[in-house]
Structure 1
Amino acid sequence: MAFGAGTAMAATECVPSQWGPDDELGSANLVTPERTMEALKLVKQGKTMPLGIVIDSKTPAFAPRSLSLQIVQPNQQGGQRLPFGYPANYNDDVLQTWIGIGSQIDGLGHLGENGLYYNCNNEKDFAGITGLKKMGVHNIPPLVGRAVIIDMAKHAGKDFLDAGEHFGSAEIQAAAKAQGVEIREGDIVLFHTGWTENKLDSDPDAWVSGEPGVNNEGMKWLASQNLMAIGADTWGVEPVPAPKGDGVFYGHVLALQEKGIYLLETMNTGPVLRAGANEFMFVLGQARIRGTVQMIINPVAMF
């Protein structure tokens, strides 16, 4: 299978959001009661599956990101018991982590170009060291809608795509048509490349050093479909190494900055496909830590 070449990266001018110059939500504006009710119709078996992976201190991540977890028993040294009216004891968690590890959502303040982000926001005006003053992930409402998975590995006739292997609009549309998947406005579109299932455990260094994904031309086409979110079973959605002329992660700019479309990384798509569902109701309610750029997530596929 021959995957299409990416398009050259070009300088972009700031274009205000279709939802107004003060908008901070981007494609989350596409969450409506009507779309939620339509998505509910896809729940026919009452089954739910997680789209997030399990992570720990050994999970590879884009450098220098890391995670450290400690379990502690506060004020219980030497077998002390707590005076709760009974001899109480408990465990607590102390977590030190970068948030961009494992399954995650990229917010609109994550990546831009020449100091600008979504809706012409300048980094000098909103990117504070203690948190974003605008476009924090805590502001995103629950993302609920119709989701589809397009199996690009199956379309290529292999278990998984290789690092650097990329696909554009022609391959996406051909795979969707062959698999009976219709892409609609307001959808969450996820790609299955087989990369995480085949590389994360067996070769974690290779997993985090490269990946297959959507090239610039493909991302630009997807963004034109007015989607709620774009994701994949890879840690960055786009191919690494990038195709000649694409620029590393420039698809993030095309989606996040130019269109306000959220990106979903390291989605656990394989089990859902094997359950026979490439169309389902997607539900995400992320942790609401004020001012975050991204967030570790575990969306639910309901079908």
Structure 2
Amino acid sequence: MSAHATKTLLAAALLAAAAWSHAQPPVVGTSPWGPDDEIGRLNLMTAESRAAVLARVDGGTVYDLSVDLFIGMPSWQAAGDPHYRMWMTHTPHGTAIDDPLGLGAAMNEHVSYTGAAFSMYTHTGTHIDTLAHFGLDGRIWNGFSAAEHLGDRGWKVGGAEKLPTIVARGVMIDLPAYLGVDMLPDGHRISRAELRGALERQKVSLREGDVVLIRTGRMRVYEDAAAYMRNPPGLGMDAARFLVESSGAMVVGADNLSFEAFPSEVENNYVPVHTYLLAEQGTPILELVYLEGLSEARVYEFAFIGGGLRLRGADAAPMRPIALPLVPPGASDEP
């Protein structure tokens, strides 16, 4: 397809998206799991689905999908959110001088004492967005209103403590490998066609209840916060609809910090992918997921296991998920 034809198709798609959003203003979704539901599509996880994926774990390599937290790391301080900070509260030398526990010089010289504290925004490092993170017209998923359910100590509904530990089939979609690049270029908007093409290349199909993780390659510059945060690639609206409505994803995520591409392709909404997933569809989002190890090993299907910190009333929670490769269907340990 020529560059002109591609640009023409893209322009038509953008116009269609704008017309659709104007004709049908989005509203928060009503949960099919009842009026008290606070976890959305995580209800797709069942005892049977957990047992099925765990039964296929091959017991070999464990892939850590989390990133390091360090001073100077990528974060949302440009939006007014705090940097990650860690400081020492006790050091061996300081304890010997201050004697905070009244133990005396001899004991403090003999037993060294180190302690630290840290502070950070809830959307720092590898984390999961709860359904309270973004809403529409004062309401979040399932119609809960901020006026009624958001206090000075956080959300009374939909907080991070409500999210269950996730045990599900995971699928990694490696877009740089499919497109033949090290990482997607700045501002690249991921399309439905690219997701489908990468899945076909990997010979993997999506199923209802999957945790779908998209590799953009952005982790290659994670140590350089300015480069990592500069106009990152992300998901487009049609790609988001493909993952949820066409493929049945339970949770979606990526290795970038914004998940979606900017600027918005939808009129009157600066974060249409977030509001579509969280507020309209009840689909939690994972961000800053480390996928380089899976990519290097060409592991595209795995058991995903991860639980966020139980931060009561919070709109997100830090997470340290892992991936356990699966034995191919039909494979047997029998010689």
TM-score above 0.5, yes or no: yes
SS of the equivalent of 2:270 reads: coil
Tell me the equivalent position of 1:120.
Answer: 143
Aligned to 1:286: 308
Partner of 2:44: 30
- Report what 2:331 is aligned to: none
The equivalent residue for 1:299 is 321
Q: Provide the C-alpha distance between the structure 2 equivalents of 1:181 and 1:299, rounded to a whole number of angstroms.
A: 21
- Counterpart of 1:234, as a letter, is N
Question: Does 2:231 match 1:217?
Answer: no
Letter in 2 for 1:78: I
Question: Which consecutive residues of structure 1, in runs of 5 or more, have no partner in the other structure?
Answer: none
TM-score, with normalisation over the residues of structure 2? Answer: 0.83
Q: Which residue of 2 aligns with 1:53?
A: 67
Q: Structure 2, unaligned stretches of length 5 or more?
A: 326-335
2:249 maps to which of 227, 239, 255: 227
> Greater share of helix residues, 1 or 2?
2
**In structure 1, distance between residues paired with 2:96 and 2:121:** 30
Please say if residues 164 and 242 of structure 1, whose CA atoms lie closer than 8 Å, have aligned partners that are also in contact: no
Check conservation: 1:210, 1:241, Cα contact below 8 A: no
Q: Does 1:80 align with 2:92?
A: no
CA gap of 1:248–1:77, structure 2 versus 1, over 3 A, is: farther
Count of aligned positions: 301
Matched, 1:68 2:59: no
Runs of at least 4 residues off by over 6 Å: none
Taking only the aligned residue pairs, the percentage that are identical comes to 28
Contact persistence 1:155–1:175 (CA under 8 A): yes
Moved more, 246-255 or 58-67: 246-255
Residue 32 of structure 1, CA deviation? 1.1
Match of 2:113 among 64, 87, 90: 90
Question: Partners of 2:144 and 2:136 in 1: how far apart?
Answer: 11
Q: Which amino acid aligns with 1:149?
A: M
**CA radius of gyration, larger in:** 2
- Which residue number in structure 1 is paired with residue 262 of structure 2? 240
Query: Can you list the C-alpha shifts for 1:205-236, whole angstroms capped at 9, x where unaligned?
Result: 13213111110111122121332210011111
1:103 aligns with one of 108, 122, 126: 126
Moved more, 86-95 or 135-144: 86-95
Q: Is the 8 A contact 2:302 2:323 kept in 1?
A: yes
1:273 to 267, 278, 295: 295
**Is 1:53–1:103's contact at 8 Å kept on the other side of the alignment?**
yes
* Aligned with residue 229 of structure 2, among 203, 208, 216: 208
SS in 2 for 1:145: strand
Counterpart check, 1:187 vs 2:206: no
Asked if the contact 2:127–2:308 (Cα under 8 Å) also holds between the matched residues in 1, the reply is: no
CA RMSD of superposed structures (Å): 2.4
- 1:163 lines up with 2:186 in the alignment: yes
Is contact 1:72-1:93 (8 Å) kept? yes
Q: What is the aligned counterpart of 1:152 among 148, 151, 175?
A: 175
